[in-house]
């Protein structure tokens, strides 16, 4: 793997968006003065959209670098399982063992503190651990300010390190949302943001076959697969098994990237 292909993409310029913001607003002022308020207003709305849309695009690199595929993967894919640990974690681990598969569990800090024995069991069985925020504030994560965002990510990092003895190297935003204040924390903690290239929307109410129909077309060598555990619909185990069976049929292996 060449240096350009390194998996660990730590933000090197976390505030690189600031000059773009300043320039865009200067353009708005000039348009308002020189061309009139209709042009100024239109440009203002367009500039706001430019900075807001990337917040909700999981693989957008506007605010922070993101790993969304594995370079030079051979026959490997990266299974990532979000939102644990949960009451389903032991069954997920048994399922992965039966298929000789490895996965990275992106864990929520306060849930990990409530079930530390499950976190240690994940590691004991040879799987990876990632940071998925401390309280998983799904409805408001996108609008957290710098202090609250830092607390969410740093608290989860401390919790997971205290349980496993080693801080995670991987990070995934809640619902993939990444606002301007994520990158500085990732740089400080030396975390790499992980996105995905195959997703079936299994974190919400769903039918397993519908989820698999969405997910399987993206299941190929180098894919980063987004899965969940412990969802209220209770079908995550069926979905994970369907993915593992599809991997076997396609001659692919679920391996850890590091």
What's residue 5's pLDDT? 54
Domain end among 9, 27, 56: 56
Residues 82 and 188 occupy one common structural domain: yes
If we measure between CA atoms, which residue out of 232, 176, 230, 233 comes closest to residue 210?
233
Residue 244 has pLDDT above 70, yes or no: yes
Residues 103 and 205 occupy one common structural domain: yes
Determine, yes or no, domain membership for 10. no
- List C-alpha distances in Å: 45 to 35, 106, 124, 156, 222: 16, 36, 51, 36, 38
Residues 37 and 118 occupy one common structural domain: no
Determine, yes or no, domain membership for 11. no
Show the tokens assigned to 80. 């990532």
- Average per-residue pLDDT in the chain? 94
Determine, yes or no, domain membership for 137. yes
What's residue 1's pLDDT? 46
Show the tokens assigned to 212. 């698999």
pLDDT in tens, 18-62: 998 899 999 989 999 999 989 889 988 998 898 999 999 999 999
Determine, yes or no, domain membership for 65. no
pLDDT in tens, 17-28: 999 889 999 998
Determine, yes or no, domain membership for 236. yes
Determine, yes or no, domain membership for 96. yes
Distance CA 175, CA 182 (A): 14
Domain of 210 in residue numbering reads as: 76-254
| Number of domains the chain contains | 2
Residue 25: Cβ within 10 Å count: 14
Residues 168 and 128 occupy one common structural domain: yes
Domain CATH for 163: 3.20.20.370
Residue 146: pLDDT band with limits 50, 70, 90:
very high
Determine, yes or no, domain membership for 2. no
Determine, yes or no, domain membership for 188. yes
Q: For residues 229 and 205, which has the higher predicted lDDT (pLDDT)?
A: 229
Residue 3 has pLDDT above 60, yes or no: no
Residues 97-115, mean pLDDT to the nearest whole number: 98
């Amino acid at each position: 793997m060449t240096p350009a292909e390194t998996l660990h993409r730590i933000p090197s310029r976390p505030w690189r968006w600031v000059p773009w913001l300043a320039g865009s607003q200067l353009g708005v002022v000039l348009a308002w003065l020189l061309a009139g308020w209709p042009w100024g207003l239109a440009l203002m709305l367009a500039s706001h959209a430019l900075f807001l849309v990337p917040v909700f695009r999981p693989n957008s690199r506007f605010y922070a670098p993101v790993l969304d595929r594995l370079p030079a993967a051979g026959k490997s894919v990266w299974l990532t399982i979000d939102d644990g640990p949960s009451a389903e974690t032991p069954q997920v681990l048994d399922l992965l063992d039966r298929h000789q598969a490895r996965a990275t569990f992106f864990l929520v800090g306060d849930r990990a503190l409530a079930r530390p024995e499950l976190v240690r069991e994940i590691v004991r069985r040879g799987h990876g651990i990632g940071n998925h925020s401390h309280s998983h504030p799904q409805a408001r994560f996108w609008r957290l300010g710098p202090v609250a965002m830092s607390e969410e990510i740093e608290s989860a990092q401390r919790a997971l390190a205290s349980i496993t003895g080693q801080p995670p190297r991987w990070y995934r935003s809640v619902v993939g949302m990444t606002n301007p204040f994520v990158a500085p924390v990732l740089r400080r903690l030396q975390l790499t943001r992980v996105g995905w290239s195959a997703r079936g929307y299994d974190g919400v109410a769903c039918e397993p076959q519908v989820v698999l129909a969405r997910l399987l077309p993206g299941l190929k060598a180098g894919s980063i697969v987004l899965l969940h555990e412990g969802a209220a619909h209770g079908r995550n185990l069926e979905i994970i098994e369907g993915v593992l069976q599809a991997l076997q049929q396609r001659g692919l292996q679920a391996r850890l990237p590091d």
